[in-house]
């Protein structure tokens, strides 16, 4: 369904980017540029849930923003259903839904008003919009607060409205950037159940996460990005076999082991 071939993206270097998480000079720095993604190739099959993993700053959001068309890659090619997305970017956008880190919702409107507004932008008629919102309100447990102003919402409530907005137009591929980060256990559960529901409807999902329990529960395959490069793509079983580990988080850690700062006791001896 979705094929990425050799995607690269660099940014003009910011002083803050000169060291990595471990406090070491970042090998992605090339002169005045920071190579955020380098030659990423991957695919997402129809009806698949693909988890995008990697430590902070690995390049996950950059990749998801490229998939959403919010960012343009410097190199590489993206195909959706065997057609280059550049050939008809409007058609591609109609077929995807994107949840970014910022909700981009209107605080002065109610959840319902926000959803109606975006549904109409997507070209749904008033009746279609109302029916779709009713359906999503039930799937995402929105009914108790749907008509309250967004400014009164908790983070979890806003996130559920943002997810509803991303799928109003019934996209075939849904791209979610850390959909559950910072949410309480109930809100998380609602969103994970909703991803499962979407997938059962035949929707493909690509989502980034730092939560290994979500990965085990939802993902058919995972893709590990490390310092802007694709370190692994395959099933969780294949990942465990490749790294000869039994636990998922150990498998991930072993592929990033050179990055883990070693804590030295002698440094704090009195």
Q: Which stretch binds ligand ATP (CB under 6 A): 11-19, 107-115, 147-155, 190-198?
A: 11-19
**Which 26-45 positions form the footprint of ligand ATP (CB under 6 A)?**
34, 36
Nearest Cα residue to 80 out of 92, 69, 98, 71: 92
List phi, psi (to 5°) of 90.
-65, -40
| Nearest residue (CB) to ligand ATP, 31 versus 202 | 31
Q: Which of 15, 56, 244, 258 binds ligand ATP (CB under 6 A)?
A: 56
* Contacting range for ligand ATP; rule: CB under 6 A; set: 58-66, 87-95, 105-113, 240-248: 58-66
Question: Which residue stretch of 43-51, 60-68, 91-99, 153-161 sits at the interface with ligand ATP (rule: CB under 6 A)?
Answer: 60-68
Q: How far is the CB of 127 from ligand ATP (least distance, A)?
A: 39
Q: What are the DSSP E strand ranges found in 28-68?
A: 29-30, 33-44, 49-53
CB of 10 to ligand ATP, least distance (A): 9
Interface residue with ligand ATP, options 51, 59, 171, 179 (CB under 6 A): 59
Is 227 an interacting residue with respect to ligand ATP (CB under 6 A)? no
**Please, what is the angle between helix 236-243 and helix 248-255, to 10°?**
60
Q: How many angstroms from the chain centroid is the CA of residue 244?
A: 27
Quote the radius of gyration of the chain (alpha carbons, Å): 20
Quickly list H helices, 70-210. Answer: 89-95, 111-121, 126-139, 155-167, 185-200
Question: Which residue is it, tokens 């919402």?
Answer: 153
Q: Which is nearer to ligand ATP, 36 or 40 (CB)?
A: 36
- Taking every pair of C-alpha atoms in the chain, what is the biggest distance, in angstroms? 72
Least Å distance between CB 156 and ligand ATP? 19
CA distance 173 to 102: 19
Number of residues that bind ligand ATP (CB under 6 A): 13
Q: How far is the CB of 64 from ligand ATP (least distance, A)?
A: 8
Q: In 3-state terms, what secondary structure has residue 221?
A: strand
Return the range that interacts with ligand ATP (CB under 6 A); candidates 54-62, 78-86, 151-159, 167-175. Answer: 54-62
Nearer to ligand ATP by Cβ, of 61 and 243: the residue is 61
> In whole angstroms, how close is the CB of 87 to ligand ATP at the nearest point?
26
The span from the first CA to the last CA of the chain, in angstroms, equals 60
> Is the Cβ–Cβ distance between 161 and 193 less than 8 Å?
no
Nearest to 37, CA basis, from 251, 206, 231, 215: 231
Q: Binding marks (x or -) toward ligand ATP, 109..138, rule CB under 6 A?
A: ------------------------------
- Distance, CA of 265 to CA of 270 (rounded, Å): 10
Residues engaged in binding ligand ATP (CB under 6 A):
11, 14, 17, 34, 36, 54, 56-62
């Amino acid at each position: 369904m979705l094929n990425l071939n050799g995607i690269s993206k660099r940014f003009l270097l910011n002083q803050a980017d000169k060291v990595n998480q471990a406090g070491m000079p970042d090998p992605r720095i090339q002169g005045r540029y920071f190579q955020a993604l380098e030659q990423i190739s991957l695919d997402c099959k129809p009806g698949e849930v693909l988890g995008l993993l990697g430590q902070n700053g690995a390049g996950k959001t950059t990749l998801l923003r490229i998939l959403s068309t919010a960012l343009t890659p410097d190199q590489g090619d993206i195909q959706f259903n065997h057609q280059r997305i550049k050939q008809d970017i409007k058609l591609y956008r109609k077929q995807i839904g994107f949840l970014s880190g910022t909700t981009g919702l209107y605080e002065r409107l109610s959840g319902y008003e926000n959803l109606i507004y975006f549904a109409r932008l997507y070209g749904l008629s008033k009746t279609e919009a109302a029916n779709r919102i009713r359906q999503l309100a039930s799937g995402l447990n929105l009914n108790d607060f749907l008509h309250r102003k967004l400014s009164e919402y908790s983070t979890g409530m806003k996130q559920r409205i943002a997810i509803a907005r991303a799928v109003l137009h019934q996209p075939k591929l849904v791209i979610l950037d850390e959909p559950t980060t910072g949410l309480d256990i109930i809100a998380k559960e609602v969103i994970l159940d909703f991803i499962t529901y979407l997938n059962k409807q035949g929707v493909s999902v690509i989502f980034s996460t730092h939560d290994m329990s979500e990965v085990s529960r939802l993902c058919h395959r995972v893709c590990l990005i490390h310092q802007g490069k694709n370190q692994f793509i395959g099933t969780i079983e294949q990942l465990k076999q490749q790294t000869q580990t039994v636990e998922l988080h150990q498998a991930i850690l072993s592929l990033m082991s050179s990055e883990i700062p070693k804590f030295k006791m002698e440094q704090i001896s009195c």
